[in-house]
Amino acid sequence: MRAFVQALFPFLLAFCGLSCSSSGDGGDDGAGGDSDAVPTVDMSFERIAVAGLDQVTVRVTVDGSSAVPSLAVDHGSLSDPVADGASWLATLTPDTTGEYVVSASLGAGSASRTALVLQDVAAGWGQPEAVAGLVNSSGYEDGSTISPDGRYLFVQYGPYGASGLVVFNTERANDGAGGNRLSPTVFSHPWVDETLGPTAAPQRPYFPMGRIDGTTNLHNAASWGVGIGGSPILAWSTIFYGFERQADGSFGAPFTVAFDDLNDGIINPFGLGFQPLGGDDYRTVFALKDSFTTDLGFDLYHCDISAGANTNLGTYVTTTPNSPPARGAPFASSLVDLGDNSGTQGNNFLELDSGGAVRAIWTDDEYDNDPDTHKLSVHVINSGSFPGTNDYTSLVLPNVVNVPDTEAIQPCLEGDGLFFTQDTSVAFAAYAGDHDAAGYATPGNWTAPVVILQKDTGTGPLDAADIGKVVAMGESTLAVIDGHRVLFFVYARVRGIDPITGIADLDFQIGQVQELAAALLSSG
Protein backbone atom coordinates (compact mmCIF):
# COMPACT_ATOMS: atom_id res chain seq x y z
CA MET A 1 0.00 0.00 0.00
CA ARG A 2 1.28 3.38 -0.96
CA ALA A 3 0.82 5.39 2.20
CA PHE A 4 0.71 8.78 0.54
CA VAL A 5 -2.17 7.66 -1.72
CA GLN A 6 -4.15 6.56 1.33
CA ALA A 7 -3.41 9.89 2.95
CA LEU A 8 -4.73 11.86 0.00
CA PHE A 9 -8.39 10.81 0.32
CA PRO A 10 -8.78 12.17 3.89
CA PHE A 11 -7.09 15.44 2.89
CA LEU A 12 -9.49 15.90 0.01
CA LEU A 13 -12.60 15.28 2.06
CA ALA A 14 -11.42 17.09 5.17
CA PHE A 15 -10.72 20.29 3.27
CA CYS A 16 -13.83 20.05 1.19
CA GLY A 17 -15.80 17.51 2.93
CA LEU A 18 -23.65 4.56 -19.25
CA SER A 19 -22.52 4.80 -22.35
CA CYS A 20 -22.17 7.58 -24.84
CA SER A 21 -21.80 7.98 -28.55
CA SER A 22 -21.52 10.90 -30.90
CA SER A 23 -21.96 11.39 -34.57
CA GLY A 24 -20.64 14.08 -36.85
CA ASP A 25 -22.30 16.04 -39.58
CA GLY A 26 -21.02 16.26 -43.11
CA GLY A 27 -20.95 14.78 -46.57
CA ASP A 28 -20.43 11.52 -48.41
CA ASP A 29 -18.68 8.69 -46.54
CA GLY A 30 -17.34 7.33 -49.81
CA ALA A 31 -19.25 4.05 -49.47
CA GLY A 32 -21.98 4.63 -52.02
CA GLY A 33 -25.68 5.07 -51.39
CA ASP A 34 -27.20 8.46 -50.57
CA SER A 35 -24.42 10.98 -51.08
CA ASP A 36 -25.94 13.28 -48.46
CA ALA A 37 -26.19 10.62 -45.75
CA VAL A 38 -23.96 10.90 -42.72
CA PRO A 39 -23.16 7.57 -41.03
CA THR A 40 -23.96 7.31 -37.34
CA VAL A 41 -21.17 5.64 -35.39
CA ASP A 42 -21.78 3.99 -32.01
CA MET A 43 -19.32 2.22 -29.74
CA SER A 44 -19.49 -0.12 -26.76
CA PHE A 45 -16.99 -2.12 -24.69
CA GLU A 46 -16.96 -5.72 -23.47
CA ARG A 47 -14.41 -7.04 -20.99
CA ILE A 48 -12.32 -10.10 -21.96
CA ALA A 49 -11.06 -11.82 -18.82
CA VAL A 50 -7.53 -13.09 -19.41
CA ALA A 51 -4.45 -13.73 -17.31
CA GLY A 52 -2.92 -10.41 -16.29
CA LEU A 53 -4.69 -7.25 -17.40
CA ASP A 54 -8.03 -7.88 -19.08
CA GLN A 55 -8.42 -7.15 -22.77
CA VAL A 56 -11.33 -5.16 -24.15
CA THR A 57 -13.58 -5.92 -27.10
CA VAL A 58 -14.44 -2.70 -28.90
CA ARG A 59 -17.75 -3.04 -30.76
CA VAL A 60 -18.48 -0.39 -33.38
CA THR A 61 -21.86 -0.16 -35.07
CA VAL A 62 -22.30 2.02 -38.13
CA ASP A 63 -25.75 3.04 -39.34
CA GLY A 64 -25.79 4.32 -42.92
CA SER A 65 -22.74 2.63 -44.36
CA SER A 66 -21.19 -0.82 -44.84
CA ALA A 67 -17.64 0.53 -45.10
CA VAL A 68 -14.95 -0.35 -42.56
CA PRO A 69 -14.60 2.32 -39.85
CA SER A 70 -11.22 3.65 -38.77
CA LEU A 71 -10.31 2.87 -35.14
CA ALA A 72 -7.58 4.30 -32.94
CA VAL A 73 -6.47 4.19 -29.29
CA ASP A 74 -4.20 6.64 -27.48
CA HIS A 75 -1.94 3.87 -26.07
CA GLY A 76 -1.81 0.10 -25.81
CA SER A 77 -2.60 -1.75 -29.04
CA LEU A 78 -5.79 -2.18 -31.04
CA SER A 79 -6.34 -4.92 -33.60
CA ASP A 80 -7.83 -4.25 -37.03
CA PRO A 81 -11.63 -4.35 -37.03
CA VAL A 82 -13.38 -7.47 -38.31
CA ALA A 83 -17.02 -7.77 -39.34
CA ASP A 84 -19.51 -9.29 -36.90
CA GLY A 85 -22.96 -9.05 -38.42
CA ALA A 86 -23.93 -5.40 -38.36
CA SER A 87 -20.97 -4.49 -36.14
CA TRP A 88 -17.19 -4.30 -36.33
CA LEU A 89 -15.06 -5.80 -33.58
CA ALA A 90 -11.51 -4.97 -32.50
CA THR A 91 -9.48 -6.10 -29.49
CA LEU A 92 -7.76 -3.61 -27.22
CA THR A 93 -4.68 -5.01 -25.45
CA PRO A 94 -3.57 -2.72 -22.61
CA ASP A 95 0.00 -2.16 -21.47
CA THR A 96 -0.83 -0.94 -17.95
CA THR A 97 -3.78 -0.02 -15.79
CA GLY A 98 -5.40 3.29 -16.68
CA GLU A 99 -7.57 5.12 -19.19
CA TYR A 100 -7.70 4.12 -22.87
CA VAL A 101 -9.36 6.63 -25.16
CA VAL A 102 -10.77 4.74 -28.15
CA SER A 103 -12.11 6.56 -31.17
CA ALA A 104 -13.92 5.34 -34.31
CA SER A 105 -14.76 7.31 -37.42
CA LEU A 106 -16.26 6.84 -40.84
CA GLY A 107 -16.67 9.83 -43.09
CA ALA A 108 -18.13 12.58 -40.95
CA GLY A 109 -19.46 10.19 -38.32
CA SER A 110 -17.44 9.49 -35.19
CA ALA A 111 -17.59 8.22 -31.64
CA SER A 112 -15.17 8.19 -28.71
CA ARG A 113 -15.23 6.49 -25.32
CA THR A 114 -12.74 5.89 -22.53
CA ALA A 115 -12.19 2.33 -21.34
CA LEU A 116 -10.78 1.94 -17.84
CA VAL A 117 -8.39 -0.98 -17.32
CA LEU A 118 -7.96 -1.99 -13.68
CA GLN A 119 -5.65 -4.49 -12.04
CA ASP A 120 -8.58 -6.85 -11.56
CA VAL A 121 -12.36 -6.85 -11.98
CA ALA A 122 -14.50 -9.49 -10.27
CA ALA A 123 -16.43 -12.03 -12.32
CA GLY A 124 -19.95 -10.91 -13.11
CA TRP A 125 -19.02 -7.31 -13.90
CA GLY A 126 -18.48 -5.78 -17.33
CA GLN A 127 -15.89 -3.37 -18.67
CA PRO A 128 -15.26 -0.29 -16.50
CA GLU A 129 -15.11 3.06 -18.24
CA ALA A 130 -15.03 6.76 -17.52
CA VAL A 131 -18.42 8.40 -17.09
CA ALA A 132 -19.29 10.24 -20.29
CA GLY A 133 -20.66 13.75 -20.64
CA LEU A 134 -19.82 16.79 -18.52
CA VAL A 135 -18.86 14.98 -15.31
CA ASN A 136 -15.11 14.51 -15.72
CA SER A 137 -12.71 17.38 -16.30
CA SER A 138 -9.08 18.41 -15.82
CA GLY A 139 -9.96 19.46 -12.26
CA TYR A 140 -10.72 16.89 -9.58
CA GLU A 141 -13.98 15.02 -9.18
CA ASP A 142 -14.72 13.23 -5.92
CA GLY A 143 -17.55 12.02 -3.69
CA SER A 144 -19.66 10.44 -6.45
CA THR A 145 -23.24 9.49 -5.52
CA ILE A 146 -25.90 8.22 -7.90
CA SER A 147 -29.54 8.73 -6.93
CA PRO A 148 -31.24 5.37 -6.27
CA ASP A 149 -33.34 5.75 -9.42
CA GLY A 150 -30.23 6.36 -11.55
CA ARG A 151 -31.46 9.74 -12.81
CA TYR A 152 -28.87 12.02 -11.23
CA LEU A 153 -25.17 11.72 -10.49
CA PHE A 154 -23.71 14.01 -7.83
CA VAL A 155 -20.00 14.87 -7.71
CA GLN A 156 -17.87 17.12 -5.55
CA TYR A 157 -15.70 19.32 -7.75
CA GLY A 158 -12.74 21.64 -7.45
CA PRO A 159 -10.75 23.20 -10.33
CA TYR A 160 -7.45 21.92 -8.98
CA GLY A 161 -4.91 19.17 -9.17
CA ALA A 162 -5.75 17.04 -6.15
CA SER A 163 -2.12 16.51 -5.16
CA GLY A 164 -1.72 20.19 -4.32
CA LEU A 165 -2.94 19.22 -0.85
CA VAL A 166 -0.06 16.78 -0.52
CA VAL A 167 2.45 19.42 -1.60
CA PHE A 168 0.97 21.86 0.90
CA ASN A 169 1.37 19.39 3.77
CA THR A 170 4.88 18.28 2.74
CA GLU A 171 7.67 19.57 4.98
CA ARG A 172 9.45 22.75 3.92
CA ALA A 173 12.72 20.84 3.88
CA ASN A 174 11.21 18.69 1.10
CA ASP A 175 9.95 21.68 -0.93
CA GLY A 176 6.45 21.73 0.52
CA ALA A 177 4.59 24.35 2.56
CA GLY A 178 4.83 22.45 5.83
CA GLY A 179 1.12 23.06 6.37
CA ASN A 180 1.48 26.86 6.44
CA ARG A 181 1.68 29.13 3.38
CA LEU A 182 3.01 32.14 5.25
CA SER A 183 5.62 30.85 7.67
CA PRO A 184 8.54 31.24 7.67
CA THR A 185 8.18 32.70 4.15
CA VAL A 186 5.34 32.85 1.64
CA PHE A 187 5.13 29.48 -0.12
CA SER A 188 4.48 29.26 -3.85
CA HIS A 189 3.88 26.26 -6.07
CA PRO A 190 1.77 25.92 -9.25
CA TRP A 191 -0.39 23.22 -7.66
CA VAL A 192 -1.18 25.56 -4.77
CA ASP A 193 -1.42 28.89 -6.58
CA GLU A 194 -3.16 28.05 -9.86
CA THR A 195 -6.46 26.48 -10.90
CA LEU A 196 -6.62 23.71 -13.46
CA GLY A 197 -10.20 22.77 -14.32
CA PRO A 198 -13.18 24.71 -15.72
CA THR A 199 -15.13 27.26 -13.67
CA ALA A 200 -17.89 28.20 -16.12
CA ALA A 201 -20.55 26.73 -18.40
CA PRO A 202 -21.06 24.28 -19.93
CA GLN A 203 -19.12 22.04 -17.53
CA ARG A 204 -19.13 24.05 -14.29
CA PRO A 205 -21.68 26.89 -14.26
CA TYR A 206 -22.30 28.83 -11.04
CA PHE A 207 -18.92 27.95 -9.56
CA PRO A 208 -18.01 30.31 -6.66
CA MET A 209 -15.32 32.70 -7.91
CA GLY A 210 -14.79 34.91 -4.85
CA ARG A 211 -11.38 33.33 -4.21
CA ILE A 212 -10.21 32.93 -7.82
CA ASP A 213 -9.06 35.55 -10.31
CA GLY A 214 -8.95 33.96 -13.74
CA THR A 215 -6.79 30.91 -13.01
CA THR A 216 -5.09 32.34 -9.91
CA ASN A 217 -6.00 31.28 -6.38
CA LEU A 218 -6.28 34.40 -4.23
CA HIS A 219 -5.75 32.64 -0.87
CA ASN A 220 -8.44 34.79 0.72
CA ALA A 221 -11.77 34.07 2.45
CA ALA A 222 -14.51 36.69 2.63
CA SER A 223 -16.56 34.61 5.08
CA TRP A 224 -13.57 34.50 7.45
CA GLY A 225 -12.60 38.14 6.95
CA VAL A 226 -9.27 37.16 5.36
CA GLY A 227 -7.94 39.37 2.56
CA ILE A 228 -6.07 38.40 -0.61
CA GLY A 229 -2.95 36.38 0.14
CA GLY A 230 -3.77 36.31 3.85
CA SER A 231 -4.75 32.69 4.35
CA PRO A 232 -2.04 30.52 5.93
CA ILE A 233 -3.86 27.30 5.02
CA LEU A 234 -4.86 25.79 1.69
CA ALA A 235 -8.65 25.81 1.74
CA TRP A 236 -9.92 25.16 -1.76
CA SER A 237 -13.21 26.33 -3.21
CA THR A 238 -15.31 23.27 -4.00
CA ILE A 239 -19.01 22.55 -4.45
CA PHE A 240 -21.24 19.61 -5.33
CA TYR A 241 -22.70 19.40 -8.81
CA GLY A 242 -25.63 17.26 -9.88
CA PHE A 243 -25.74 15.92 -13.44
CA GLU A 244 -28.84 14.53 -15.17
CA ARG A 245 -28.61 11.28 -17.10
CA GLN A 246 -29.15 11.92 -20.80
CA ALA A 247 -30.82 9.71 -23.43
CA ASP A 248 -27.44 8.41 -24.66
CA GLY A 249 -26.34 7.40 -21.12
CA SER A 250 -24.02 10.35 -20.58
CA PHE A 251 -24.55 12.89 -17.80
CA GLY A 252 -25.05 16.61 -18.39
CA ALA A 253 -27.19 19.64 -17.44
CA PRO A 254 -25.15 20.48 -14.30
CA PHE A 255 -26.66 22.21 -11.27
CA THR A 256 -25.28 22.95 -7.81
CA VAL A 257 -25.99 21.66 -4.30
CA ALA A 258 -23.97 23.98 -2.09
CA PHE A 259 -23.80 26.39 0.82
CA ASP A 260 -23.79 30.14 0.32
CA ASP A 261 -20.69 31.34 2.17
CA LEU A 262 -20.13 34.71 0.49
CA ASN A 263 -18.90 33.11 -2.76
CA ASP A 264 -16.02 31.40 -0.94
CA GLY A 265 -16.89 27.74 -1.57
CA ILE A 266 -15.09 26.73 1.63
CA ILE A 267 -17.93 25.31 3.72
CA ASN A 268 -18.96 22.10 2.03
CA PRO A 269 -20.91 18.92 2.66
CA PHE A 270 -19.42 15.54 1.92
CA GLY A 271 -20.71 11.99 1.55
CA LEU A 272 -24.15 12.71 0.09
CA GLY A 273 -26.96 10.15 0.35
CA PHE A 274 -30.38 10.40 -1.31
CA GLN A 275 -34.00 9.43 -0.69
CA PRO A 276 -36.36 9.93 -3.66
CA LEU A 277 -39.49 11.86 -2.69
CA GLY A 278 -41.24 11.74 -6.07
CA GLY A 279 -40.62 13.50 -9.37
CA ASP A 280 -37.45 15.57 -9.20
CA ASP A 281 -37.61 15.92 -5.43
CA TYR A 282 -35.06 14.20 -3.18
CA ARG A 283 -33.99 14.34 0.42
CA THR A 284 -30.23 14.53 0.70
CA VAL A 285 -28.21 13.68 3.80
CA PHE A 286 -24.60 14.77 4.18
CA ALA A 287 -21.80 15.27 6.68
CA LEU A 288 -20.91 18.76 7.91
CA LYS A 289 -18.61 20.27 10.51
CA ASP A 290 -18.97 24.03 10.98
CA SER A 291 -18.43 24.66 14.74
CA PHE A 292 -22.18 25.11 15.29
CA THR A 293 -22.48 21.99 17.42
CA THR A 294 -20.27 21.04 20.35
CA ASP A 295 -19.43 17.61 18.93
CA LEU A 296 -15.83 17.15 17.96
CA GLY A 297 -16.59 15.19 14.79
CA PHE A 298 -18.77 15.62 11.74
CA ASP A 299 -22.55 15.47 12.10
CA LEU A 300 -25.18 14.44 9.57
CA TYR A 301 -27.68 16.95 8.18
CA HIS A 302 -30.62 16.65 5.80
CA CYS A 303 -32.14 19.00 3.25
CA ASP A 304 -34.79 18.61 0.54
CA ILE A 305 -33.72 19.49 -3.00
CA SER A 306 -35.33 19.73 -6.41
CA ALA A 307 -32.91 18.07 -8.83
CA GLY A 308 -32.10 20.15 -11.88
CA ALA A 309 -32.27 23.42 -9.94
CA ASN A 310 -29.55 24.99 -7.81
CA THR A 311 -30.02 24.35 -4.07
CA ASN A 312 -28.80 26.60 -1.27
CA LEU A 313 -28.14 24.26 1.66
CA GLY A 314 -27.65 27.21 4.00
CA THR A 315 -26.24 30.71 4.28
CA TYR A 316 -23.19 31.83 6.26
CA VAL A 317 -22.19 35.34 7.34
CA THR A 318 -18.97 36.83 8.69
CA THR A 319 -18.39 37.37 12.39
CA THR A 320 -14.97 38.88 13.13
CA PRO A 321 -11.78 38.69 11.03
CA ASN A 322 -10.04 35.28 11.14
CA SER A 323 -13.03 33.77 12.97
CA PRO A 324 -15.35 31.08 11.62
CA PRO A 325 -18.45 32.41 9.85
CA ALA A 326 -21.83 32.01 11.54
CA ARG A 327 -24.98 30.47 10.18
CA GLY A 328 -27.31 33.03 8.67
CA ALA A 329 -30.69 32.93 6.95
CA PRO A 330 -32.00 31.07 5.11
CA PHE A 331 -30.53 27.84 6.48
CA ALA A 332 -32.37 24.93 4.93
CA SER A 333 -30.33 22.07 6.44
CA SER A 334 -31.30 20.35 9.68
CA LEU A 335 -29.41 18.06 12.04
CA VAL A 336 -29.99 14.30 11.89
CA ASP A 337 -30.07 13.35 15.56
CA LEU A 338 -28.11 10.12 15.91
CA GLY A 339 -27.28 10.81 19.54
CA ASP A 340 -23.84 11.50 20.95
CA ASN A 341 -21.20 11.85 18.26
CA SER A 342 -17.80 11.19 19.77
CA GLY A 343 -16.38 10.44 16.32
CA THR A 344 -17.21 11.05 12.70
CA GLN A 345 -20.55 10.41 11.05
CA GLY A 346 -19.52 10.63 7.42
CA ASN A 347 -20.05 9.25 3.91
CA ASN A 348 -23.59 8.21 4.74
CA PHE A 349 -25.77 5.85 2.75
CA LEU A 350 -29.56 5.79 3.20
CA GLU A 351 -30.95 2.26 3.27
CA LEU A 352 -34.55 2.31 2.00
CA ASP A 353 -37.29 -0.25 2.53
CA SER A 354 -39.56 -1.54 -0.24
CA GLY A 355 -41.81 1.50 0.16
CA GLY A 356 -38.95 4.00 -0.17
CA ALA A 357 -38.79 4.96 3.52
CA VAL A 358 -35.42 5.20 5.26
CA ARG A 359 -34.80 2.09 7.34
CA ALA A 360 -31.19 2.69 8.37
CA ILE A 361 -28.30 5.09 7.87
CA TRP A 362 -24.83 3.68 7.14
CA THR A 363 -21.78 5.76 8.00
CA ASP A 364 -18.02 5.60 8.30
CA ASP A 365 -15.50 7.22 10.66
CA GLU A 366 -12.47 8.78 8.98
CA TYR A 367 -11.34 11.88 10.80
CA ASP A 368 -10.56 11.17 14.44
CA ASN A 369 -8.59 8.75 16.58
CA ASP A 370 -11.24 6.85 18.52
CA PRO A 371 -11.60 3.03 18.47
CA ASP A 372 -14.01 3.18 15.51
CA THR A 373 -11.72 5.13 13.18
CA HIS A 374 -11.74 3.71 9.62
CA LYS A 375 -14.63 1.39 10.49
CA LEU A 376 -18.21 1.13 9.20
CA SER A 377 -21.32 1.61 11.33
CA VAL A 378 -25.07 1.38 10.86
CA HIS A 379 -27.85 3.31 12.62
CA VAL A 380 -31.15 1.38 12.43
CA ILE A 381 -34.44 3.18 13.04
CA ASN A 382 -36.38 1.58 15.89
CA SER A 383 -39.55 3.67 15.80
CA GLY A 384 -40.90 6.72 14.06
CA SER A 385 -39.84 7.79 10.61
CA PHE A 386 -36.89 9.62 9.17
CA PRO A 387 -36.01 12.43 9.55
CA GLY A 388 -38.26 13.12 12.53
CA THR A 389 -37.14 10.23 14.71
CA ASN A 390 -34.19 10.17 17.08
CA ASP A 391 -34.75 6.52 18.06
CA TYR A 392 -31.86 4.60 16.54
CA THR A 393 -29.82 1.54 17.43
CA SER A 394 -26.25 2.33 16.41
CA LEU A 395 -23.60 -0.35 16.04
CA VAL A 396 -20.17 -0.86 14.56
CA LEU A 397 -20.14 -3.74 12.08
CA PRO A 398 -18.40 -6.96 13.18
CA ASN A 399 -14.77 -7.62 12.31
CA VAL A 400 -15.68 -9.95 9.46
CA VAL A 401 -16.51 -6.71 7.59
CA ASN A 402 -14.32 -4.24 9.48
CA VAL A 403 -11.27 -6.43 8.95
CA PRO A 404 -8.57 -5.57 11.51
CA ASP A 405 -5.62 -3.59 10.13
CA THR A 406 -7.57 -2.46 7.07
CA GLU A 407 -9.43 0.76 6.32
CA ALA A 408 -13.18 0.37 5.72
CA ILE A 409 -14.97 3.54 4.57
CA GLN A 410 -17.73 4.79 2.22
CA PRO A 411 -20.50 2.17 2.61
CA CYS A 412 -23.27 1.43 0.10
CA LEU A 413 -25.72 -1.33 1.04
CA GLU A 414 -27.81 -3.27 -1.45
CA GLY A 415 -30.11 -6.21 -0.80
CA ASP A 416 -27.38 -8.84 -1.15
CA GLY A 417 -24.56 -7.09 0.64
CA LEU A 418 -22.36 -4.09 1.29
CA PHE A 419 -20.13 -2.30 -1.20
CA PHE A 420 -17.42 -0.17 0.36
CA THR A 421 -13.85 1.07 0.04
CA GLN A 422 -11.24 -1.22 1.57
CA ASP A 423 -7.71 0.16 1.44
CA THR A 424 -8.49 2.28 -1.65
CA SER A 425 -9.99 -0.54 -3.71
CA VAL A 426 -13.71 -1.33 -4.02
CA ALA A 427 -14.81 -4.36 -2.00
CA PHE A 428 -18.04 -6.29 -1.37
CA ALA A 429 -19.22 -8.24 1.68
CA ALA A 430 -22.26 -10.44 1.07
CA TYR A 431 -25.10 -10.34 3.62
CA ALA A 432 -27.78 -12.99 4.32
CA GLY A 433 -29.55 -11.89 7.51
CA ASP A 434 -32.53 -9.81 8.49
CA HIS A 435 -32.25 -6.10 7.82
CA ASP A 436 -32.28 -5.03 11.44
CA ALA A 437 -29.75 -4.19 14.12
CA ALA A 438 -29.55 -7.74 15.46
CA GLY A 439 -28.96 -9.12 11.98
CA TYR A 440 -26.26 -6.62 11.10
CA ALA A 441 -24.47 -7.28 14.39
CA THR A 442 -24.28 -11.04 13.79
CA PRO A 443 -20.90 -12.02 12.25
CA GLY A 444 -22.30 -15.20 10.71
CA ASN A 445 -24.65 -13.17 8.49
CA TRP A 446 -21.67 -11.68 6.65
CA THR A 447 -19.03 -13.12 4.35
CA ALA A 448 -15.48 -11.83 4.30
CA PRO A 449 -15.02 -8.91 1.88
CA VAL A 450 -13.78 -9.59 -1.63
CA VAL A 451 -12.24 -6.94 -3.86
CA ILE A 452 -14.36 -6.38 -6.97
CA LEU A 453 -12.44 -3.42 -8.45
CA GLN A 454 -8.71 -3.61 -7.79
CA LYS A 455 -6.39 -0.64 -8.07
CA ASP A 456 -2.86 -1.04 -9.46
CA THR A 457 -0.89 -3.19 -7.03
CA GLY A 458 2.57 -1.81 -7.78
CA THR A 459 4.80 -1.06 -4.83
CA GLY A 460 7.23 1.67 -3.89
CA PRO A 461 7.11 5.43 -4.47
CA LEU A 462 5.33 6.54 -7.61
CA ASP A 463 7.61 7.73 -10.41
CA ALA A 464 7.51 8.40 -14.14
CA ALA A 465 7.01 4.70 -14.88
CA ASP A 466 3.66 4.90 -13.08
CA ILE A 467 2.16 7.69 -15.18
CA GLY A 468 -1.32 6.67 -16.31
CA LYS A 469 -1.81 3.94 -13.72
CA VAL A 470 -4.94 3.79 -11.51
CA VAL A 471 -3.54 3.86 -7.97
CA ALA A 472 -6.68 4.38 -5.87
CA MET A 473 -10.45 3.89 -6.04
CA GLY A 474 -13.44 4.40 -3.77
CA GLU A 475 -16.85 6.07 -3.25
CA SER A 476 -18.89 3.18 -4.69
CA THR A 477 -22.56 3.93 -5.32
CA LEU A 478 -25.20 1.94 -7.23
CA ALA A 479 -28.40 2.33 -9.19
CA VAL A 480 -30.45 0.14 -11.53
CA ILE A 481 -30.22 1.51 -15.07
CA ASP A 482 -31.77 -0.24 -18.07
CA GLY A 483 -32.35 -3.38 -16.01
CA HIS A 484 -28.81 -3.78 -14.67
CA ARG A 485 -27.04 -2.58 -11.57
CA VAL A 486 -24.45 0.04 -12.43
CA LEU A 487 -21.68 0.84 -9.97
CA PHE A 488 -20.21 4.34 -10.01
CA PHE A 489 -16.90 5.06 -8.30
CA VAL A 490 -13.99 7.50 -8.00
CA TYR A 491 -10.61 6.53 -9.41
CA ALA A 492 -7.27 8.30 -9.22
CA ARG A 493 -4.74 7.94 -12.02
CA VAL A 494 -1.19 9.25 -12.08
CA ARG A 495 -1.17 12.25 -14.40
CA GLY A 496 2.47 13.21 -13.94
CA ILE A 497 5.32 13.70 -11.47
CA ASP A 498 6.07 17.12 -9.98
CA PRO A 499 9.64 18.11 -10.90
CA ILE A 500 9.96 20.21 -7.74
CA THR A 501 8.89 17.77 -5.03
CA GLY A 502 8.79 14.44 -6.90
CA ILE A 503 5.17 14.00 -5.74
CA ALA A 504 2.76 12.29 -8.11
CA ASP A 505 0.01 14.40 -9.67
CA LEU A 506 -3.16 12.36 -9.17
CA ASP A 507 -6.16 13.02 -11.41
CA PHE A 508 -9.44 12.13 -9.67
CA GLN A 509 -12.22 11.06 -12.06
CA ILE A 510 -15.57 9.24 -11.98
CA GLY A 511 -15.94 5.76 -13.49
CA GLN A 512 -18.73 3.24 -13.89
CA VAL A 513 -19.16 -0.48 -14.49
CA GLN A 514 -22.29 -2.52 -15.21
CA GLU A 515 -23.18 -5.81 -13.59
CA LEU A 516 -23.69 -8.41 -16.32
CA ALA A 517 -26.67 -10.19 -14.76
CA ALA A 518 -30.08 -8.57 -14.76
CA ALA A 519 -30.80 -6.68 -11.56
CA LEU A 520 -32.44 -8.62 -8.78
CA LEU A 521 -32.42 -6.01 -6.05
CA SER A 522 -34.16 -6.77 -2.80
CA SER A 523 -34.53 -4.52 0.21
CA GLY A 524 -34.84 -7.55 2.48
Contact 153, 488 (CB under 8 A): yes
- What confidence tens digit (pLDDT) does each residue in 275-287 have? 999 999 999 999 9
Give the global pTM. Answer: 0.92
Task: Give the CATH number for residue 77.
Answer: 2.60.40
pLDDT recorded at residue 341: 60
Residues 362 and 301 in one domain: yes
Domain match, 67 and 174 both? no
Q: Does 250 reside within a domain?
A: yes
Residue 445, φ and ψ in degrees, nearest 5: -80, -10
In terms of Cα–Cα distance, which of 170, 199, 16, 117 is closest to 498? 170
- My answer on whether 331 and 354 are in the same domain is yes
Residue 298 above 90 pLDDT? no
Instruction: Kindly state whether residues 264 and 364 are assigned to the same domain.
Output: yes
Domain edge (last residue) among 62, 95, 121? 121
What is the pLDDT at residue 23?
34
Give the number of domains in the chain: 2
Res. 60: pLDDT tops 60: yes
Does the residue 429 lie in any domain? Answer: yes
Q: Are residues 16 and 72 in the same domain?
A: no
| Parent domain of 246 | 3-20+132-514
CATH assignment at residue 224: 2.115.10
- Share of residues in the chain with pLDDT > 90 (%): 84
Q: Indicate if 55 and 15 belong to the same structural domain.
A: no
pLDDT at position 367 is 76
* Predicted local distance difference test score (pLDDT) of residue 377: 95
Q: Is residue 506 part of a domain?
A: yes
Q: Please indicate, yes or no, if residue 127 is contained in any of the structural domains.
A: no
What is residue 294's predicted lDDT score, i.e. its pLDDT?
Answer: 54
- Same domain? 248 vs 137: yes
Tell which of 78, 102, 121 closes a domain: 121
Boundary (domain end) residue, out of 121, 143, 172: 121
Residues 106, 205, single domain; the answer is: no
Query: Long-range pairs for 90-95 at CB < 8 Å and ≥24 separation?
Result: 90/57, 90/58, 90/60, 91/48, 91/55, 91/56, 91/57, 91/58, 92/55, 92/56, 92/57, 92/58, 93/55, 94/53, 94/54, 94/55, 94/56
| pLDDT value, residue 372 | 80
Confidence of residue 38 (pLDDT cuts 50, 70, 90): confident
pLDDT category of residue 370 using cuts at 50, 70 and 90 = confident
* Residue 9 pLDDT greater than 50, yes or no: no
Query: Do 150 and 50 fall within a single domain?
Result: no
Report yes or no on 221 lying in a domain: yes
pLDDT at 67 over 90: yes
Query: Which of the four pLDDT bands, split at 50, 70 and 90, describes residue 343?
Result: low
b/e burial code for range 403-439 (CB count within 10 A of at least 16 → b): beeebbbbbbbbeebbbbbbbbbbbbbebeeebbbee
- Is the pLDDT confidence value at 6 over 70? no
Q: Reply yes or no on whether the pLDDT at 448 is more than 60.
A: yes
* 391-438 per-position pLDDT tens digit: 999 999 999 999 999 999 999 998 899 999 999 999 999 999 999 999
